[in-house]
Structure 1
Amino acid sequence: MAAAVVTLNVGGELFQTTAATLSRAGASSPLASLGPSSPSAPHFLDGDPRLFARLLSFLRHGRLLLPAGEPAPSPALLAEARHFGLDAALLASLSPASAFAPLSLRASALLPLTGRAAPSVVALCPSPPHPAYLFAAYGGVVTRFDAALAYRASVLSPLPAVDWLVAASPALAVAGARDFPGAHLCRFSDDASAAAPEVLSWPDSPSATVLSMATTTTVGPGSASPPWLFSSFESARRNSSAIVAFDLNSLSPVAEIGRKEVFGADVEAAIPATKLAWLGAHGLLLAAGSHSGPAGVVGDIRLWDVRASATVPVWEVREKEDCFADVAASDALSALFKVGGASSEVFMADLRRMGNGDGIGLEPWVCIGDSRRAAAAASSGRKERNGCRIECYCRWVFVARDTDVEVWSQVELAPEASGKMLMRRNWVGSGPFMEVGGGKEGEKAKAKIVSWAFGGSRMALVRADKRSVEIWDSDAVTI
Structure 2
Amino acid sequence: MASAAAVVTINIGGELFQTTSGTLARTGASSPLSSLSPSTPADPHFLDGDPRLFALLLSFLRRGSLPSPPSAALLAEARHFALDAALLASLSPTSAFAPLSLRPSALLPLAGRAAPSAVALCPSPHPASVVVAHGGVVTCFDAAFASRRSVLTPLPAVDSLVAVSPDLAVAGARDFPGVHLCRFSDATAPPEVLSWPGSTSATVLSMAATAVSDAAQLPWLFTSFESARRNSSAVVAFDLNSLTPVAEIGRKEVFGADIEAAIPATKLGWLAGHNLLLAAGSHSGPAGVVGDICLWDVRASSTVPVWEVKEKDDCFADIAASDKLSALFKVGAASGEVFMADLRRLDNGGTIGSEPWMCIGAGQRATAAASSRRKEGNGCMIECYCNWVFVTRGSDVEVWSQVELAPEAGGKKVMRRNWVVSGPSMKVEGSEEGVTENTKIVSWAFGGSRMALARAEKISVEVWDSAPAAICAKS
- Using structure 1 for the length normalisation, give the TM-score: 0.85
Q: Report the counterpart of residue 81 of structure 1 in structure 2.
A: 81
CA distance in structure 2 between the aligned counterparts of 1:144 and 1:119, rounded to whole angstroms: 12
CA distance in structure 2 between the aligned counterparts of 1:225 and 1:261, rounded to whole angstroms: 30
CA distance in structure 1 between the aligned counterparts of 2:335 and 2:119, rounded to whole angstroms: 27
Question: Paired residue for 1:144, among 140, 149, 153?
Answer: 140
1:337 equivalent in alignment to 2:337: no
DSSP 3-state at the match of 2:61: helix
Whether the 8 Å CA contact 1:125–1:170 is kept in 2: the answer is yes
Q: Deviations over 1:122-173 (max 9, x none)?
A: 00112x3111111011111111112222221111111111101001111111
Q: 1:436 to 1:466 in 2, by over 3 A?
A: farther
One-letter amino acid matched to 1:186: C
Deviation at 1:321, TM superposition (A): 0.9
Q: Report the counterpart of residue 473 of structure 2 in structure 1.
A: none
DSSP 3-state at the match of 1:103: helix
One-letter amino acid matched to 2:20: T
1:371 equivalent in alignment to 2:363: yes
Please list every run of at least 4 consecutive aligned residues from structure 1 whose deviation after the TM superposition is greater than 6 angstroms.
Answer: 1-5, 9-15, 27-32, 37-40, 413-419, 436-440
- Map 1:290-439; keep pairs closer than 5 Å: 290-354=282-346, 359-382=351-374, 386-412=378-404, 421-429=413-421, 431-435=422-426
CA distance in structure 2 between the aligned counterparts of 1:124 and 1:56, rounded to whole angstroms: 27
CA distance in structure 2 between the aligned counterparts of 1:214 and 1:146, rounded to whole angstroms: 21
Q: Deviations over 1:365-418 (max 9, x none)?
A: 000000001111222234786110000111111110011011111112788999
One-letter amino acid matched to 1:285: L
Whether the 8 Å CA contact 1:317–1:362 is kept in 2: the answer is no
Identity of matched residues, %: 69
Whether the 8 Å CA contact 1:64–1:90 is kept in 2: the answer is no
Q: Report the counterpart of residue 193 of structure 2 in structure 1.
A: 199
Q: Report the counterpart of residue 24 of structure 1 in structure 2.
A: 26
Q: Deviations over 1:305-359 (max 9, x none)?
A: 1111111111110001111000001111111000000000000001111267774
Q: Report the counterpart of residue 237 of structure 1 in structure 2.
A: 229
Q: 1:142 to 1:366 in 2, by over 3 A?
A: same
Q: Report the counterpart of residue 213 of structure 1 in structure 2.
A: 207
Q: Report the counterpart of residue 261 of structure 1 in structure 2.
A: 253
Q: 1:441 to 1:7 in 2, by over 3 A?
A: closer
Note the aligned Cα RMSD (angstroms).
3.6
One-letter amino acid matched to 2:99: P
CA distance in structure 2 between the aligned counterparts of 1:393 and 1:98, rounded to whole angstroms: 11
Q: 1:335 to 1:476 in 2, by over 3 A?
A: farther
Q: Deviations over 1:433-462 (max 9, x none)?
A: 324779995663221110011111121111
Whether the 8 Å CA contact 1:103–1:428 is kept in 2: the answer is no
Q: Report the counterpart of residue 120 of structure 2 in structure 1.
A: 123
Q: Report the counterpart of residue 276 of structure 2 in structure 1.
A: 284
CA distance in structure 1 between the aligned counterparts of 2:274 and 2:308, rounded to whole angstroms: 16
One-letter amino acid matched to 2:47: D
DSSP 3-state at the match of 2:378: coil
Q: Report the counterpart of residue 240 of structure 2 in structure 1.
A: 248
Whether the 8 Å CA contact 1:329–1:336 is kept in 2: the answer is yes
Q: Report the counterpart of residue 107 of structure 1 in structure 2.
A: 104
DSSP 3-state at the match of 2:81: helix
Q: Deviations over 1:181-202 (max 9, x none)?
A: 011111112xx53356011110
DSSP 3-state at the match of 2:364: helix
Whether the 8 Å CA contact 2:90–2:125 is kept in 1: the answer is no
One-letter amino acid matched to 1:158: P
Question: Paired residue for 1:188, among 184, 191, 207?
Answer: 184
Q: 1:50 to 1:158 in 2, by over 3 A?
A: same
Q: 1:415 to 1:331 in 2, by over 3 A?
A: farther
Whether the 8 Å CA contact 2:234–2:251 is kept in 1: the answer is yes
Q: 1:271 to 1:4 in 2, by over 3 A?
A: farther
CA distance in structure 2 between the aligned counterparts of 1:15 and 1:136, rounded to whole angstroms: 41
CA distance in structure 1 between the aligned counterparts of 2:299 and 2:151, rounded to whole angstroms: 35
Q: Report the counterpart of residue 472 of structure 2 in structure 1.
A: none
CA distance in structure 2 between the aligned counterparts of 1:467 and 1:265, rounded to whole angstroms: 42
CA distance in structure 1 between the aligned counterparts of 2:134 and 2:358, rounded to whole angstroms: 38
Whether the 8 Å CA contact 2:21–2:38 is kept in 1: the answer is no
Q: Report the counterpart of residue 48 of structure 1 in structure 2.
A: 47
Comparing 46-55 with 316-325, greater Cα deviation is found at 46-55
Whether the 8 Å CA contact 1:347–1:367 is kept in 2: the answer is yes
Whether the 8 Å CA contact 1:122–1:134 is kept in 2: the answer is yes
Q: Report the counterpart of residue 466 of structure 1 in structure 2.
A: 458
Whether the 8 Å CA contact 1:51–1:80 is kept in 2: the answer is no
Comparing 419-428 with 463-472, greater Cα deviation is found at 419-428
Q: 1:156 to 1:389 in 2, by over 3 A?
A: same
Where in structure 2 are there 5+ consecutive unaligned residues?
470-475
CA distance in structure 1 between the aligned counterparts of 2:353 and 2:67, rounded to whole angstroms: 52
One-letter amino acid matched to 2:275: G
Whether the 8 Å CA contact 1:184–1:196 is kept in 2: the answer is no
Deviation at 1:81, TM superposition (A): 2.8
Question: Paired residue for 2:160, among 160, 164, 167?
Answer: 164
Deviation at 1:362, TM superposition (A): 4.2
Deviation at 1:73, TM superposition (A): 3.8
One-letter amino acid matched to 1:333: L
Deviation at 1:2, TM superposition (A): 7.6
Q: 1:443 to 1:210 in 2, by over 3 A?
A: closer
Q: 1:228 to 1:439 in 2, by over 3 A?
A: same
Whether the 8 Å CA contact 1:414–1:422 is kept in 2: the answer is no
Q: Report the counterpart of residue 135 of structure 1 in structure 2.
A: 131
